[in-house]
Amino acid sequence: MNAPVASPYTLPVTEAKAMRHIISILLENEPGALSRVAGLFSARGYNIESLTVAPTEDASLSRMTIVTTGSDDVIEQITKQLNKLIEVVKLVDLSEAPHIERELMLIKVRATGKDREEMKRMADIFRGRILDVTETTYTIELTGTGSKLDAFIEALDKAAILETVRTGASGIARGERVLRV
Amino acid sequence: MDSGTNGTKLVAPELTGAEIVIRCLEAEGVEYVFGYPGGAVLFIYDELFKQDKVKHVLVRHEQGATHAADAYSRASDKVGVCLVTSGPGVTNAVTGIATAYMDSIPMVVISGQVPTHAIGLDAFQECDTVGITRPCVKHNFLVKDVRDVAATIKKAFHIARTGRPGPVVVDIPKDVTTARCRFEYPESIAMRSYNPTVKGHPGQIKKAAQLILDAKRPMVYTGGGVILSDASVQLKRLVKMLGYPCTNTLMGLGGYPATDPQFLGMLGMHGTYQANMAMQHCDVLLAIGARFDDRVIGNPAHFGSVPRKIVHVDIDPSSISKRVKVDVPIVGNVREVLDELVKLLDGQTGKIDQRALKAWWAQIDLWRAKDCLRYDRAAMIIKPQFVIEKLYEATGGDAIVTSDVGQHQMWAAQFYKFDKPRRWINSGGLGTMGFGLPAAMGAQFANPGATVACVTGEASFMMCMQELSTCKQYRLPIKIVNLNNRYMGMVRQWQQFFHGNRYSESYMDALPDFVKLAESFGHVGMRIEKPTDVEPALREALKRKDDLVFLDFITDQAENVYPMVPGGKGISEMILAEDL
């Protein structure tokens, strides 16, 4: 009858499957608002896969996109706890409905000899743009879903990759649904 | 500013930031500020000095200021206010802020900060107040412009007292307290990002009412939310009209009258047998302003192994379905929701299955017959439970009782029968040793004529005993009931049960002579060693209406708190005194 629980502080391990969720938040563009959100995730042991934030067309508001993973219960707690933050105006779990998500990557690759042409071809296939060229390198801009960016990295020779920088996902709902005040 | 119709300009006066702080407190109707001065708040203290509407209580350590302000709020329903300086002033206050946060107590802490130009330069007595307090406040602010002081303080009070209450910190740099601007205290505040739900959803309340009426084995379980929303009248009406059993959490004691036959006592880790059994075996549970925490339901998997329908009323949506899945969630202010429920159920109670209810009460009476709180009343040494029983009798059950944390706290909760709310003041969530004495000060300030007793243990007491000096300065006639067992009793109890009697560092060696200690602060001290002396000593202490009396009861070292739900067990898996 007893589930094996080590201490009253240990919640029973839920076997519910952790799913990836993308949460969009409108919050007051105030100093400290970001640290409140980040602090909440670390204090309560939630995962953050990525977090992006920037002011919106209304400078008093910031729009944040958080990619996280968790069971339904955990995601419910995350959204409730986020809503409790005084600076959070509105939020939506984009993954509940059709949505678009995009991430930007800048990647610097070795482009010498016969690889130089190959790199150019790869960038074209993935609809990347070459932003900067030197005699030995290309810097490529690539936009897409996280998995597309992953796929591009996979397609390259590891040794050719000099540097990557990714923004993390931004998301928006499809169709008429909007997140605004 | 506005121009009057006759063309004269009505201009608000220009004040310094420090003046504005005091004027805001005045506008909020703040009677007492608990605090301790220091460099960063000197200008605010200067303004305090120049007026007499807002009274200042000088504590001896900032932790005492926060606990006193917190208990002032718990014992009144007003917002507690403290004022501390930057750096160590704030870090000392953190324990008290976290205590208030865990128990959802409305409090505003105003802290000084180094001047804005020095922030971030590791200035003397600088700390990142907003950063340090962020995880243990409902909200906090750093005010960098004197023009924001009034609106920020208005917001702070608004946030502290509305929704699920909690502490709010307002950090004010020193140069902001000297800068000037026009002062007008905003009459109201609108925040697009903060609008807590107050009214419960009518459809959900209707569903709840139906479940409640259909119950065969009902149980009402209520917590601190009933106290915080001043809903004890509504709760009593509801429970009385239904004829259902009711239990309170540690934070909820006094929410339902403890001497009423429908009250089953406190539930949880040290709850009564009948309350825990009824909680486990009910078929419909009405949870009101409580949060199913680990000390209440023990192992949630064990609790969830029995099917039952749960209605959960709470103002904080994140408290609902956090540890236990519920069937009918109702987000709203407890008092408003109870009002609606009572209205809906009025005249419907004929639908209750009285036969089933009678059988359920018969079962509960069997559990009650275990008499789980009994102890050896014939003992030759003082039993701690006996002291609390006598305290209850001597005070006519009408004292405000504060406590520290540990065994004495549990005995006070079990044996002092609280019939009214805001009479039982303890650190339930954070479990802060050292809370009791400063809390008694705050409670006494909120209720000048009332009997305030601080039930404590020698270990807890010594964590904030410097406040004896504050008690002398303000002539606070607190009765300190020290259950002195020369151990950190609760630690010792766990070590006895779960660590093979290895009493690692839980023995209190080199204790002071508490009688002399009390006397050295100008108070009255009494040492009581025989059971027959307990009641006379308490009566003598209560007769001394103007004195703080420290009653040092030398109690049984080996006594344990029963019943006990061991960590990780279900609440029906209690250790009872007879099991050992």
pLDDT over threshold 90, residue A8: no
The reply to whether A150 touches chain B by the CB within 8 Å rule is no
- Alpha-carbon dihedral sign for residues A127, A133, A137, A143: negative
Concatenating the DSSP letter of every residue in B272-292 gives -HHHHHHHHH-SEEEEES---
Q: How far is CA B298 from CA A78, B286, B292, B322, in A?
A: 23, 18, 9, 14
Pairing state of beta strands A99-110 and A137-144?
antiparallel
- Alpha-carbon dihedral sign for residues B67, B72, B76, B78: negative
What percentage of chain B reaches a pLDDT higher than 70?
98
Distance CA A30, CA A27 (A): 8
Of B88, B43, B95, give the one whose Cα is nearest residue B69.
B95
Distance CA A9, CA B491 (A): 17
Q: In what order do the strands lie in the sheet with A61-70?
A: A50-55, A61-70, A19-28, A88-93
Q: What is the mean pLDDT of residues B61-75?
A: 98
pLDDT of residue A16: 75
How many contacts does A have with B, using Cβ atoms within 8 A?
Answer: 67
pLDDT of residue A14: 54
pLDDT of residue B580: 56
pLDDT tens for residues B262-291? 999 999 999 999 999 999 999 999 999 999
Pinpoint the alpha helices (H) of chain A. Answer: 33-43, 72-84, 113-125, 146-155
Cis, bond preceding B196 (omega within 30 deg of 0): no
Distance CA B230, CA A89 (A): 29
Mention every residue, 6+ apart, whose C-beta is less than 8 A from residue A21: A67, A68, A69, A70, A75, A78, A93, A94, A95
What percentage of chain A reaches a pLDDT higher than 70?
92
Distance CA B396, CA B4 (A): 59
Helix (H) and strand (E) counts for chain B? Answer: 23, 20
Distance CA A53, CA A44 (A): 21
Tell me the catalytic residues of B.
62, 124-125, 174, 490
- For residue B416, give the H/E element and its range: none
Residue A7 binned pLDDT confidence (cut-offs 50, 70, 90): very low
Distance CA B6, CA B335 (A): 48
pLDDT of residue A115: 86
**What one-letter code names the amino acid at B253?**
L
pLDDT of residue A5: 43
Q: Which of B137, B164, B297, B299 to mutate to test the interface with A (most CBs of A within 10 A)?
A: B299
Mention every residue, 6+ apart, whose C-beta is less than 8 A from residue B29: B78
Gyration radius from chain B CA atoms: 25
Residue B9 binned pLDDT confidence (cut-offs 50, 70, 90): low
The reply to whether A83 touches chain B by the CB within 8 Å rule is yes
pLDDT over threshold 70, residue B10: no
B163 near B12, Cβ under 8 Å?
no
Q: What is the mean pLDDT of residues B308-318?
A: 97
Residues of B with CB under 8 A from a CB of A: 130-131, 134-135, 138-139, 142, 159, 191-194, 269, 294-295, 298-302, 305, 316-318, 321-323, 567-570, 573
Distance CA B283, CA B307 (A): 7
pLDDT tens for residues A131-169? 999 999 999 999 999 999 999 999 999 999 999 999 999
Distance CA B408, CA B390 (A): 14
CB contact under 8 A, B301 and A76: no
What's the mean per-residue pLDDT of chain B? 96
B426 near B435, Cβ under 8 Å?
yes
Kindly state the greatest CA–CA separation across chain A. Answer: 70
pLDDT over threshold 50, residue B5: no
pLDDT over threshold 80, residue B137: yes
pLDDT tens for residues B490-516? 999 999 999 999 999 999 889 999 999
Residue A3 binned pLDDT confidence (cut-offs 50, 70, 90): very low
Lowest mean pLDDT of A78-92, B8-22, B214-228, name the range.
Answer: B8-22
Tell me the pTM: 0.94
Tokens of B405: 């944390």
Q: What is the mean pLDDT of residues B245-255?
A: 98
Residue B567 binned pLDDT confidence (cut-offs 50, 70, 90): confident
**What one-letter code names the amino acid at B512?**
P
CB contact under 8 A, B139 and A86: yes
Q: What is the mean pLDDT of residues A59-85?
A: 96
pLDDT of residue B12: 78
What percentage of chain B reaches a pLDDT higher than 90?
96
pLDDT tens for residues B360-406? 999 999 999 999 999 999 999 999 999 999 999 999 999 999 999 99
Buried b (16+ CB within 10 A) or exposed e, A129-156: eeeeeeeebbbbebebebebbeebeeeb
ipTM given for this complex:
0.91
Q: What is the DSSP letter of A94?
A: G
B538 near B552, Cβ under 8 Å?
no
pLDDT of residue B1: 41
Report the residue from A12, A35, A88 with minimal CB separation from B301. Answer: A12
Tokens of B358: 């009678």
Q: What is the mean pLDDT of residues B133-143?
A: 98
Distance CA B248, CA B257 (A): 10
CB contact under 8 A, A31 and B142: yes
Kindly state the greatest CA–CA separation across chain B. Answer: 86
pLDDT over threshold 60, residue B572: yes
pLDDT of residue A17: 85
Residue A114 binned pLDDT confidence (cut-offs 50, 70, 90): confident
pLDDT of residue B8: 53
What percentage of chain A reaches a pLDDT higher than 90?
87
Tokens of B562: 């029963």
The reply to whether A42 touches chain B by the CB within 8 Å rule is no
Residue B139 CB coordination number (10 Å): 21
Concatenating the DSSP letter of every residue in B193-218 gives T-----SPPHHHHHHHHHHHHH-SSE
Distance CA B50, CA B315 (A): 41
To the nearest whole angstrom, how far is the Cα of A103 from the nearest Cα of chain B?
28
A71 dihedral zone (left: phi>0; alpha: psi -120 to 50; beta): beta
